[in-house]
């Protein structure tokens, strides 16, 4: 009898070294730029691109959902590995904070002073500005919760303020705190063994997706269930992240099928235009993204680096500065051409000078801490042996105990 098998699963089809995820994240980052050029530069009637079709989400929001989906998939797979909770958080901090801090410094020390000079005709008075002081901009924003959006009262002459009455030097960065919150949740799930058994993590992801659906359907007071859920963006961002978690947890069961992918894309497009995107449609689109990511393998795309994060965090400040020069007056094409080139230059520099060097420290441990851990190892190992029962634990230590017991038997 012939052994007839079906399509490959995600686990079978996904090759960490040969996939299109880096390309897709790069593409999504530029979708954010094109969407945000509406409010920042006054294109598309001063609104985000996409809301002319959908009353649920802009194309920038669609791109951000894609970012969270891929993060949910990749971060969960990473957390299911053998790194400790401390090493996991150290690596996540190295990926997020150094480049973000560089974006804050670039904005307050270079871009905003140029804007000040364009408005005032001098650099004098910038650092001593009493309103929205440049001296507090970095500190107030450095931990992702943006406490100061503007600098030195600037921005009253640019399209964003003229159309919306808003002044903001990085209107994309507010999503980063939700991204890092997702990292914390996955870290804790791994710490308490939920990713080892999968059942609890699966239940968590399904509940999040379900609550998000109820939130957008207006079925019940979801925000009243818990103070955390009162923020609607929690569920909006956690839902695609949780969907990515499911692909990591059950990649051996989720098939990658061409016909399903086309159907899911159709579902996404239909609901984007006619309603239901946030409830169900986005998940069809996210399945399609995963299909593209594993179906078409661009093995050399990221050979020069991963620039998507840099594009995301530097684009808005550079787009804003461009409006101080009135670049948008030269038309949509000229504005975007300049922005795409300049953002690429900055993102490439950021990768090679900041992000890549920072990530090279992912396995680094301070000498004093390494020495302390070596000295404490006999004590901590003895304590673990007394309190850990390998029959009822999913920790790495319990796994090593089971392996040793199996070798001895």
Render pLDDT for 238-253 as a digit per residue (tens, 0 to 9).
999 999 999 999 999 9
Is the pLDDT at 83 greater than 90? The verdict is no
Helix, strand, coil shares of the chain, percent, nearest 5, are 70, 0, 30
Is the pLDDT at 392 greater than 70? The verdict is no
Question: Around Cβ 129, how many Cβ atoms within 10 Å?
Answer: 16
Handedness of CA 14, 90, 398, 381 (dihedral sign): positive
Is the pLDDT at 169 greater than 60? The verdict is yes
Percent of the chain with pLDDT over 70: 97
Would you place residue 17 in the very low, low, confident or very high pLDDT band (cuts 50, 70, 90)? confident
Task: Report pLDDT for 37.
Answer: 96
Residues in a beta bridge with 255 = 9
Stretch 75-79: mean pLDDT? 91
d(CA 149, CA 169): 6
Domain boundaries, the chain: 10-359, 369-408
Are the beta carbons of 108 and 136 closer than 8 angstroms? no
pTM (predicted TM-score) = 0.93
| CA-based nearest residue to 349, from 317, 304, 316, 319 | 304
Are the beta carbons of 98 and 358 closer than 8 angstroms? yes
Would you place residue 16 in the very low, low, confident or very high pLDDT band (cuts 50, 70, 90)? confident
d(CA 372, CA 101): 30
Supply the Cα-derived Rg of the chain in whole angstroms.
24
Q: What is the per-residue pLDDT across 285-331, written as a single tens digit (0 to 9) for each?
A: 999 999 999 998 887 788 888 999 999 999 999 999 999 999 999 99
d(CA 171, CA 21): 25
Lowest mean pLDDT, pick from 1-10, 181-190, 191-200 = 1-10
- Tokens in use for 121? 């005709």
- Helix H or strand E encompassing 263: helix 258-274
């Amino acid at each position: 009898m012939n052994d007839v098998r079906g399509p490959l699963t995600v686990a079978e089809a996904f090759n960490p070294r040969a996939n299109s995820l880096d390309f897709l994240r790069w593409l999504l980052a530029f979708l954010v730029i094109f969407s945000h050029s509406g409010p920042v530069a006054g294109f598309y009637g001063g609104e985000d691109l996409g809301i002319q079709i959908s009353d649920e989400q802009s194309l920038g929001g669609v791109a951000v959902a894609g970012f969270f989906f891929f993060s949910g998939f990749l971060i969960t797979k990473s957390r299911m590995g053998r790194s400790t909770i401390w090493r996991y958080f150290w690596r996540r901090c190295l990926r997020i904070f150094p480049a973000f801090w560089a974006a804050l410094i670039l904005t307050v020390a270079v871009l905003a002073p140029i804007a000040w000079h364009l408005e005032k005709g001098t650099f004098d008075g910038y650092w001593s500005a009493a309103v929205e002081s440049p001296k507090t901009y970095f500190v107030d924003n450095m931990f992702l919760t943006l406490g100061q959006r503007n600098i030195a009262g600037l921005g009253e002459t640019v399209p964003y303020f003229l159309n919306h009455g808003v002044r903001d030097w990085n209107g994309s960065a507010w999503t980063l705190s939700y991204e890092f919150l997702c990292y914390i949740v996955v870290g804790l799930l791994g710490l308490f063994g939920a990713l080892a058994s999968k059942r609890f993590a699966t239940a968590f992801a399904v509940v999040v997706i379900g609550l998000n659906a109820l939130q957008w359907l207006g079925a019940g007071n979801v925000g009243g269930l818990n103070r955390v859920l009162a923020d609607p963006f929690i569920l909006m961002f956690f839902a695609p992240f949780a969907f990515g978690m499911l692909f990591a947890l059950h990649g051996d069961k989720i098939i990658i099928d061409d016909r399903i992918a086309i159907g899911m894309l159709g579902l996404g497009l239909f609901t984007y235009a006619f309603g239901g995107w946030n409830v169900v449609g986005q998940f069809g689109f996210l399945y399609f993204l995963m299909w593209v990511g594993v179906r078409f393998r661009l093995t050399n795309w990221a050979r020069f680096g991963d620039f998507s994060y840099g594009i995301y965090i530097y684009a808005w400040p550079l787009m804003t500065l461009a409006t101080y020069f009135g670049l948008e007056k030269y038309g949509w094409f000229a504005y975007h051409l300049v922005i795409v080139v300049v953002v690429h230059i900055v993102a490439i520099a950021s990768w090679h000078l900041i992000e890549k060097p920072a990530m090279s420290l992912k396995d680094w441990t301070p000498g004093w801490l390494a020495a302390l851990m070596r000295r404490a190892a006999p004590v901590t190992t003895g304590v673990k042996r007394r309190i850990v029962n390998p029959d009822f634990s999913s920790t790495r230590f319990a796994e090593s105990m089971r392996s040793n017991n199996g070798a001895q038997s």
